[in-house]
Amino acid sequence: MKFNRFRSINRNQRGFTLIELIVTVAITGLLGAGVTMAMFHVFTQSNQNTNSMAASKHALNAMHWITRDAQMAQTVDPDEASGFPLTLSWTEWDNSSHQVTYTLEDGNLRRGLSIDGGAPSESVVAQYINSDNATTNCELVSGVLTLKVTATVGEGSRTTSVTKVRQIAPRPGL
């Protein structure tokens, strides 16, 4: 009895109605649009995160090297306008004199180390550093070196800038 009733329901259905097809296409379109937007957001956000991490890495690397040398320095001589070139000098325990000069050229922060007046060994310690005096500078006030470094990575509307500020006290009493 139940089997015959089920058979009669199936006989009356001949396919999908136009309304059912339109609703199905609309739902599929909305799902497709949502997936497309999510994928676009993931790819865009991934690029922005990569730029942000790179800018942060380079700004922190610049801070690390300058802090390391400034804490050893007995003499700190920043340029009056922007602070770069920044010259740091000290004498080691074995009486060897060290002089480090930081220069900013084409977005690269270069470190030149000279020991006992010899030829300086040059290395790039950070890239993507802004050379604008307002965003990257250092100044010596009351024996404390204030360093501000801004790194910018990316192009056009997808640029990311990271600014780090640190106050560094050179070796006391020397």
In tens, the pLDDT along 89-100 reads 999 889 899 999
Q: Which of the two residues, 9 and 135, has the higher pLDDT score?
A: 135
- Residue range 55-74, pLDDT digits in tens: 999 999 999 999 999 999 88
pLDDT at residue number 82: 78
What is the percent of the chain where pLDDT is above 70? 90
pLDDT at residue number 13: 63
- The 10 Å Cβ neighbour count of residue 148 is 18
Cα gap 161→52, rounded to integer Å: 7
pLDDT at residue number 6: 55
CB 170 within 8 A of CB 143: yes
Output the CA–CA distances (angstroms, integers) from residue 24 to 1, 17, 20, 110, in the order listed: 34, 11, 6, 62
- Residue range 21-56, pLDDT digits in tens: 899 999 999 999 999 988 888 777 777 888 889 999
pLDDT at residue number 154: 86
Cα gap 14→11, rounded to integer Å: 7
Report the predicted TM-score, pTM, of the whole model to 2 decimal places: 0.73
Cα gap 21→133, rounded to integer Å: 64
Cα gap 100→113, rounded to integer Å: 5
Q: Which of the two residues, 140 and 45, has the higher pLDDT score?
A: 140
